[in-house]
Structure 1
Amino acid sequence: MKKYAVIVAGGSGQRMNSQIPKQFLPIKGKPLLYYALDTFLASYEDMHIILVLPEEFLDMGKEIIDGFFDPSRVTITVGGRTRFHSVQNGLALIDEESVIFVHDGVRCLLSTTLVRRCFDAALEFGTAIPAIPCKDSVRMLLEDGNEAVDRSSLVLIQTPQTFHSKILLPAFQIDYKEKFTDEATVVEAFGLKVHLVEGEENNFKITTPLDLLLAEQLIG
């Protein structure tokens, strides 16, 4: 079955104290964004990437694609005002039955094993959402204070969130709501349950300079 990876890379460098969006910051001589793209393309020979970028950085994205990859396997499109709208813009380019991965471009340390695990689960269950156990103690904020929450009942959600096209494409036709923090919440609002799969500890999102340093050590 055809495979598409919609890689969303519309963030800014605000928390990185950088003028350049974090997805373009260098790690080991390559832009951070390179590593996620490379993993997806290496996972399956028939994988096609739809890269979603801020309009003002489309040219920079094209330089990365032309410099490191086969441009015929990557399509670049412009993002929207929210993650939901950015993903929606990427999905608008898919018009065939397929398995669709949606991934944060700044989760640069995912493995081909995780990509394939998500694909296999999506074929079986229709959805595949990577998750890892919550290791920290957790408390819920209440109007009159706070209370402990049993962490054994909680998991931390990652990407690539993976779906059969017959599920994801119609789900993204519904109206946007602020509670849509990821694709799983959209699919649930559409009336479907999602299936969790084992994620990876190294598949963290780069948001701070410390994250960038850690990623550099792990890649090195």
Structure 2
Amino acid sequence: MQKYAIVVAGGSGTRMKSELPKQFIKLAGKPILMHTLEAFHFDDIQIILVLPESQIPYWKELVDEHQFKIPHNIIAGGEQRFHSVKNGLSSIKADDGLVAIHDGVRPLIKRQIISESFEQAERAGNAIASIQLKDSIRSITPHANRQEDRTNFRLIQTPQAFKIQLIKRAFEQEYTPSFTDDASVLEQAGHSINLIEGDYKNIKITTPEDLLVAETLLKA
């Protein structure tokens, strides 16, 4: 079965306190995004990189500068992450196969989890990486707050893998702000979500502190 990976990288450097978009900031000597694409470099996976159109020329400069050889197709993104993923899906002409959708700034994803996400998606239609909460949590209302049982909650990560036909149909819906990830789009279309075990090291790099943690994890 044909496999695709859509890597979405549309962030800015605002929370990173950098003028450079966070996906281009160097981690262990090369842009974060290159680490992410390397993780998805399997013989049977076609990589689709979705970037803001204005950032594509700079990415191509980085590819040349670092002599980056991982094959990938580049697609222009949209206004929101939803629209960027939709553009990536539209570039896949086949309706049969599997696609994993991943945040470009999660460079520490384990290849084992990528493989498992595809295997589970082939069996169940979708596979969403998630991890258990470590901290206590409280729900907040305008006038109060209360403790919640953290075992009833999971933190959601990427990759999120799907049968192509299912997720393409789900993305035919109109965008709403509640679509914070691809699983929420599929769920709104009436499908059950299947969770698989993610990894605490699979962090999303959005702040300077995250970058320090990622550097430490890579060295370890």
The bucket for the TM-score relative to the shorter chain is over 0.9
Give the whole-Å Cα distance in 2 for the aligned partners of 1:202 and 1:3: 24
Contact 1:34 1:64 in 2 (8 A): no
The correspondence of residues 36-51 of structure 1 with structure 2, limited to 5 A, is 36-41=36-41, 44-51=42-49
Partners of 1:74 and 1:65 lie apart in 2 by: 11
| Counterparts of 2:216 and 2:68, CA distance in 1 | 22
Q: State, as a whole percentage, how many aligned pairs show the same letter.
A: 45
Higher fraction of helix? 1
Q: 1:150 — aligned with what?
A: 149
CA distance in 1: counterparts of 2:163 and 2:32, whole angstroms: 28
1:26 aligned residue: 26
Question: Given the alignment of the two structures, is residue 185 of structure 1 paired with residue 159 of structure 2, yes or no?
Answer: no
Residue correspondence of structure 1 range 1-220 to structure 2 within 5 A: 1-41=1-41, 44-66=42-64, 67-70=67-70, 73-96=71-94, 97-220=96-219
1:107-137 deviation line (CA, Å, top 9, x unaligned): 0100110100101100110100001001111
Indicate the larger mover: 124-133 or 52-61.
52-61
TM-score (norm 1): 0.95
1:68-119 CA deviation, whole Å, 9 max, x = no partner? 124xx31111111111011011111011111101000000100110100101
Cα separation, 2, equivalents of 1:53 and 1:188: 25
CA drift of 1:56 comes to 1.4
Aligned counterparts of 1:64 and 1:49: Cα–Cα separation in 2 = 17
**What amino acid maps onto 1:82 in structure 2?**
Q
CA distance in 1, matches of 2:69, 2:198: 26
Deviation of residue 143 (structure 1)? 2.5
CA root-mean-square deviation: 1.1
| Runs (5+) with no aligned partner, structure 1 | none
Runs of 4+ aligned residues of structure 1 deviating over 6 Å after TM superposition are none
Q: Distance in 2 between matches of 1:65 and 1:188?
A: 37
SS at match of 2:18: coil
Residues paired across the two proteins, number: 216
CA distance in 2, matches of 1:64, 1:48: 20
- The amino acid of 1:121's aligned partner reads Q
Give the counterpart letter for 2:152 in structure 1: S
DSSP-derived class of the 2:40 partner: helix
In 1, Cα distance between the equivalents of 2:60 and 2:89? 19
Cα deviation 1:139-158 (Å, max 9, x = unaligned): 11113211111101111000
- 2-structure distance, mates of 1:33, 1:6: 12
With structure 2 as the length reference, what TM-score do the two structures score?
0.95
Equivalent AA in structure 2 for residue 27 of structure 1 = L
2:27 partner amino acid = I
User: How far is 1:60 from its partner?
Assistant: 2.0
Structure 1 Cα separation of the partners of residues 82 and 119 of structure 2: 25
Q: Per the alignment, in what secondary structure is the counterpart of residue 135 of structure 1?
A: coil
Contact 1:134 1:155 in 2 (8 A): yes
